[in-house]
Amino acid sequence: MLLEIKNVHKVYKGKVKANDNISLSIAEGEVFGLLGPNGAGKTTLVNQIIGLTIPTSGSITLNGVDVVANPGYARESCSFQSQTQVPISGLNTLQAIELVGRIRGGSKADVHKRAMELIEKLELGEWQKTMGITISGGVRRLVAFCMAAVTPGKIVIFDEPTNDIDPLRRRILWQEVQELAKQGAAVLLVTHNVLEAERVVDRLAIIDQGKVMGMGTTSNLKEDEGEAMHLELILEPSQTEPPLPDYLQKPVIVNRRILARVNPADITTAIEWARDLKENDAIEEFSLGPASLEDIYVRLVKNPDELELPGEVT
């Protein structure tokens, strides 16, 4: 494995436990998702991988090199898109992408070619000569994505890369993420956007309150659900949650959504119950199907506060 994280604990001053015994590994050519709600400890873990902070205990090795002791090696090996906006106010889009590509060791000609390719793919041409200070948050994030992808390291880390980005460009961005992995980079994708992550990642870890709650391929994680189906209800905006029947297992209520497991024997009854609610205008809609990654996520995470309603998902 290219990246090996073993038993990492990170406790900040004031005894805030940000990472609690995290172990995971990522291979070359793999897209690995790190999913979890805000404050779960995802960015803390990334900061330790790239050598910005050090673990309280545990080890992180990259290609066999201890990056806690050799932060310079981590910087050489990891290209990184930060969750916060990049400081490019005084640079134009092309300058910012090319300069980082050169700083990461790329030759002038290669970096220019690759920068233009990314600008074209992500349709950033109209902002190519625009100063960072005047471009929108979404475009700035795309520029930050290009800065991480222009001269990729052995590991490419994207921390919430699709925030503020329009649906069409998100799709192109995900293709580019998969392309980077095909070319041999290990991609670490940090996100709380479960639906998008499901389509892109090869393996993932769900973390909450600093702990790994589940890890594996999407199929591995769904195996625990057995033959149970998942019922999802969306409440009408003005409605409160109805009393839930006993056959709904492990129900979770997030904003206007109710998610629950239903055993095969109870499926007919559950559908009738949901239909009644719909006819009485208590719910907007309902659906029943096999477990999705989102169902697993909701069950594993204590406060899945960022889950989007279907209409908001792009």
- Positions touching other proteins (CB under 8 A) are 12, 47, 50-54, 71-72, 75-76, 78, 80, 82, 84, 86-91, 95, 99-100, 102-105
Please, which residue, 104 or 257, has the CB nearer to other proteins?
104
Q: Could you tell me the two tokens for 237?
A: 């905006």
Q: Could you tell me the two tokens for 285?
A: 């809609």
Residue 285: CB minimum distance to other proteins, A: 41
Please, which residue, 54 or 172, has the CB nearer to other proteins?
54
Please, which residue, 88 or 181, has the CB nearer to other proteins?
88
Residue 163: CB minimum distance to other proteins, A: 15
Strands 211-216 and 186-191: unpaired
* Packing angle of the helix pair 108-121, 167-182 (nearest 10 deg): 140
Residue 102: CB minimum distance to other proteins, A: 6
**String of DSSP letters for 77-124:** HEEEE-SSPPS-TTSBHHHHHHHHHHHTT--HHHHHHHHHHHHHHTT-
Asked if residues 230 and 290 have their Cβ atoms less than 8 Å apart, the reply is yes
Residue 76: CB minimum distance to other proteins, A: 5
Please, which residue, 71 or 242, has the CB nearer to other proteins?
71
How many CB atoms neighbour CB 101 within 10 A?
26
Residue 93: CB minimum distance to other proteins, A: 12
Strand order in the sheet with 78-81: 78-81, 155-159, 186-191, 31-35, 203-208, 211-216
Please, which residue, 101 or 304, has the CB nearer to other proteins?
101
CA atoms within 13 A on the CB side of 109: 0
